[in-house]
Amino acid sequence: MILNLLGEHYDITGEAKEDVDTYLELITQITAENLDASVSVKPSQIGLDISDELFVENYQKIVAHAYEHDAFVWCDMEDATTTDITIQAFCETAKAHPWTVGQCFQSNLKRTADDLADVIDVPGKIRIVKGAYNESSTIAYTDKSAVNDAYRRDIEYLFSNRSHGVAIGSHDPEMIALAQSLASEHETEYEIQMLMGVRESAQLEMAQDGVTISQYAPYGDKWFSYFYRRVRERKENALFALRAIVRS
């Protein structure tokens, strides 16, 4: 289970600090209760809209705490204005605290193939997703089939160039089948990550077949942006997103 406290785009230091403190407490509890769980933070939730320095400081604080508690921290990727600093923070933090942090990369961005090559030896996990933010066609593939082509290419690159630490964040049966076949070919250790409430019977079946499935569970009352992104991806998502929010 990957726990994400809903909240983003804070422009007041106190709001970011509150969520950082909640993540620190959550990590302590995950370890104390010996739960098979990690957390996923958003850069703009822990200070990025206030300053790069505050984000990096908070991020390193959370990861250092996880390192001490033998826990794990994922970092979501937000819109393209945040990509540089987020990747920089990932590289620095993963080197200081190896295999304690994982970073999301978005295949819809044209830069991502180069970014993956730059981070391929960084001692942190990599979650590859199609990308949930509306970006300009100068920097991103905007056509669905071009995004799918880029996603296939990035998945193939990761499985061919890493022996472990690869996560596929997708509900797409075709992409999951591709990952499974590449994993057998290259013997790469990987996991499939899916949102709570989406294709849960498929999640269960794969888990029963021995695939590592991590369910991304958002919780808390700041649900609007999450709900909006899910419905923008697919209007049928309205129901599952509502159910996940109500459950949390």
Q: How far is the CB of 214 from ligand FAD (least distance, A)?
A: 7
Out of 170, 182, 191, 218, the only residue in the binding site for ligand FAD (CB under 6 A) is: 170
What is the spatial distance between Cα 214 and Cα 216, in angstroms, rounded to a whole number?
6
What is the spatial distance between Cα 223 and Cα 242, in angstroms, rounded to a whole number?
9
* Residue 216 binds ligand FAD (CB under 6 A): yes
* Residue 245 binds ligand FAD (CB under 6 A): no
Nearer to ligand FAD, 133 or 157 (CB): 133
Q: Where are the beta strands (DSSP E) in the chain?
A: 2-5, 38-41, 73-75, 101-106, 125-129, 166-169, 190-195, 213-219
Out of 46, 169, 191, 196, the only residue in the binding site for ligand FAD (CB under 6 A) is: 169
Out of 140, 162, 240, 244, the only residue in the binding site for ligand FAD (CB under 6 A) is: 240
157 and 113 in contact (C-beta within 8 Å)? yes
Q: Kindly identify the residues of this chain, within the stretch 116-135, that bind ligand FAD according to CB under 6 A.
A: 129-133
Identify any residues that bridge with 125 across adjacent strands, giving them in sequence order: 102
> Annotated catalytic, 118?
no
Q: Which of 49, 76, 115, 154 is catalytic?
A: 76
Q: Kindly identify the residues of this chain, within the stretch 131-160, that bind ligand FAD according to CB under 6 A.
A: 131-133
Identify any residues that bridge with 129 across adjacent strands, giving them in sequence order: 106
20 and 62 in contact (C-beta within 8 Å)? yes
* Residue 58 binds ligand FAD (CB under 6 A): no
Say which amino acid occupies 195.
Answer: L
> Annotated catalytic, 76?
yes
* Residue 241 binds ligand FAD (CB under 6 A): no
SS3 39: strand
Q: Which of 127, 154, 162, 230 is catalytic?
A: 127
Q: How far is the CB of 24 from ligand FAD (least distance, A)?
A: 21
Count CB neighbours of 200 within 10 A: 14
Q: How far is the CB of 195 from ligand FAD (least distance, A)?
A: 5
Cα(first)–Cα(last) distance of the chain, in Å? 13
Nearer to ligand FAD, 97 or 171 (CB): 171
Give the residue numbers marked as catalytic: 76, 127
